[in-house]
Amino acid sequence: MPQNNYSVRDVSWYGSRWLFSLFLMELMTHLFYYNAFAISGLWKQLSPMDVFIIGYGVLNFMWLKFFLMWRYFRLWSLICGIEAPENMPRCINNCYNLESFWKNWHASFNKWLVRYMYIPLGGSQRKLLNIWVIFTFVAVWHDLEWKLLSWAWLTCLFFVPEMILKSLANTFQAESAFGEFIFRELSAVAGAITITCLMVANLVGYVIGLSGINWFISRFLQKEGLPILGGMFITFYVGTKLMFHIDDAKKRRHQH
């Protein structure tokens, strides 16, 4: 659609941010070899902490790669006076639930899936069943590989409890400041669990593969792996609390 929302200054700033992101990508590809470890299989010789860092790095690399591709073409469309949908409207490290993560990852494709699959399949009335069909389709759309199907089904497996808890949370009304505090803390714990599950699903899909699941479980449940697992969870918990504060600040800014 013709764009009237972006001034020349806005488009210039958009392009400057893209150039900065390209610089970050160059730094990542020259200094951090996440994908080399993932593809070569050398991760099997590394510690659980190293595997976690590689998985986290691969996920961020993928986000930045798609961010650059989609925003490059959107930048040119804005220059030509056409406003295309934004595909990466939210940073990957500022998502603490699966629903917001997938809404903001390839957002235009998400809209297509909602319009042509989710709604025809029954929409929110069959939400718990629809996600299995949709994520299986997305996995096959990427490539017909067992590790991608495993990624899709693991994501669905983690998605189901989140949707159930969110529906229960929507009916909850805190009647005191203490109740609101407890609810917020529990939400942060749930966010940390969700991020951990997201990491596990993407490790299986893009690093260790289906054959590495047993290795992954055995290594992280050992004496060496449990402290790392605990440290990861605490890190994600703190990160989720920080995201809450960012969201609160945005809401206050919009109110004023």
Q: What is the pLDDT of residue 256?
A: 65
Confirm whether 142 is a catalytic residue: yes
Q: What is the pLDDT along the chain (256 residues), one digit of tens a residue?
A: 677 778 889 999 999 999 999 999 999 889 988 878 877 777 778 777 787 788 788 888 888 999 999 999 999 999 988 888 888 888 888 888 888 888 888 888 999 999 999 999 998 888 889 999 999 999 999 888 888 888 899 899 988 888 888 877 777 666 777 778 888 888 889 888 888 888 888 777 777 777 777 777 777 777 777 888 888 889 899 999 998 888 888 888 877 6
Distance between CA atoms of 42 and 107, rounded to whole angstroms?
33
- Return the pLDDT at 114: 92
pLDDT of residue 127: 87
What separation, in Å, do the N-terminal and C-terminal C-alpha atoms of the chain show? 30
β partners of residue 82? 2
What pLDDT, on a 0 to 100 scale, did the predictor assign at position 12?
Answer: 93
pTM of the model: 0.80
Which is the catalytic residue, given 30, 106, 142, 256? 142
What's residue 138's pLDDT? Answer: 93
Distance CA 72, CA 23 (A): 14
pLDDT attached to residue 255: 74
Q: Cα torsion for 46, 66, 151, 33, to the nearest 10°?
A: -10
| Helical axes 146-170 vs 127-142, angle rounded to 10° | 150
Q: How far apart are CA 234 and CA 192, in angstroms?
A: 8
Contact status, residue 222 vs residue 46, Cβ threshold 8 Å? no
Retrieve residue 220's tokens: 């992280």
d(CA 194, CA 95): 10
CA distances from 38 to 79, 121, 233 (A): 38, 36, 23
Cα atoms in the Cβ-side hemisphere of radius 13 Å centred on 247: 13
Residues making up the chain, counted from first to last: 256
Q: Are 87 and 66 in contact (CB under 8 A)?
A: yes
Reported for 110-117, long-range contacts at CB under 8 A and 24+ positions apart, including other chains, are 111/85, 113/137, 113/138
| Whole-number pLDDT of residue 196 | 84
